[in-house]
Amino acid sequence: MNERSLPQHIAIILDGNGRWATSRGLPRTKGHEAGSHKVRLAVRACHDRKIPVLTLYAFSAANWNRPGEEVGNLMRICRDFAEEAHDDLVARGVRVVVVGDIDDEVPTATRKATERLIANTAGGTSMTLALALNYGGRRDMVSAMRAVAAQARAGLLLPEDIDAQSLRRFLSTSELPDADLVIRTGGEQRLSDFLPFEAAFAELFFTDTLWPDFSEATLDDALAFYARRQRRFGRTDEQVRRSAEV
């Protein structure tokens, strides 16, 4: 595939772990564990295809509402990923960042393993892997709006100068480009509070494939879908064609 037709930022909603396990008569935790292996596959596949940025919806702020045992297992799996994928990510030159709140809500062991991964991959230049951990899009936007309001109250920002970029500077995703392609596995067709600001113009690819069944073929199907799309950003078809000819 022509690199010019590749998205610069892919964001994936990893859905279907529980249903995958239930359909096999297994505990839901087994589905999450199987899904964690596909996280590493997705990172390798995107790295091999020279995708600059990959964001994965690892744990949403709303997931705290799940049963305590499941939440504990999810946090353990996040910790295990940070520890077990560490050497491969360093070797590949993948820089890891977190979007969301790594605060006291996150268990200490998970937080420390994640912080170590972030620190040890900080010099990576081949790809950025953003883990959306304890992330909620609305919550992130509210936090950013409060920061903008504080600047305005302090006289550092005039109300009439507030724009989308003012808000973006205070989002946890501020150092990432907007998402070009959002992939959701598991058959559901919603964003579930994932990147509401950053995915405003993204192409959306929904697949019935459950996350533990995700493969390179699934990714390639999404990339082929993206390559067929005409991204207009509010322009007419004629304007898009003219810009492509330049």
Q: In this structure, how many other beta carbons lie within 10 angstroms of the beta carbon of residue 239? A: 12
Given the residues 2, 48, 63, 208, the one annotated as active site:
63
Is 16 labeled as ligand-binding?
Answer: yes
In a domain, 76, yes or no: yes
- Report pLDDT for 5: 86
Q: What was the pLDDT predicted at 242?
A: 60
How far apart (Å, rounded) are the C-alpha atoms in residues 48 and 30?
28
Position 95 in a domain = yes
Name the nearest CA neighbour of 117 among 87, 76, 72, 74. 87
Which two three-digit tokens encode residue 147? 């920061």
Q: Consecutive sets of 10 residues in the chain, 246 residues long: mean pLDDT of each? A: 82 98 97 97 98 98 95 97 98 98 92 98 98 98 96 94 94 98 98 98 98 98 95 60 58
Asked if the structure places residue 243 within a domain, the reply is no
CATH code (residue 71): 3.40.1180.10
Q: Please tell me the total count of domains within the chain.
A: 1
Neighbours of 132 (CB within 10 A): 26
Domain assignment of residue 26, yes or no: yes
Paired sense of beta strands 203-206 and 181-184, if any: parallel
pLDDT, position 238: 60
168 known member of a binding site: no
The answer to whether 28 is a known ligand-binding residue is yes
In a domain, 143, yes or no: no
Domain extent for 192? 9-138+178-229
Sheet architecture: strand order including 203-206? 94-99, 127-135, 53-60, 9-13, 181-184, 203-206
pTM of the predicted structure, to 2 decimals: 0.92
The per-residue pLDDT for 231 is 74
In a domain, 236, yes or no: no
Is residue 215 assigned to a domain?
A: yes
| Predicted local confidence at residue 3, as pLDDT | 63
Predicted pLDDT at 214: 99
Indicate whether 164 belongs to any domain: no
Contacts of 189 (CB under 8 A, 6+ apart): 206
Note whether 123 and 92 are within 8 A (CB).
no
Q: Closest Cα to residue 199, out of 4, 12, 59?
A: 12
Question: Known binder of ligand: residue 14?
Answer: no
Q: Which of 2, 15, 65, 80 is catalytic?
A: 15
203 is in an annotated binding site: yes
- Told to judge if 15 belongs to the known catalytic residues of this protein, a careful annotator would answer yes
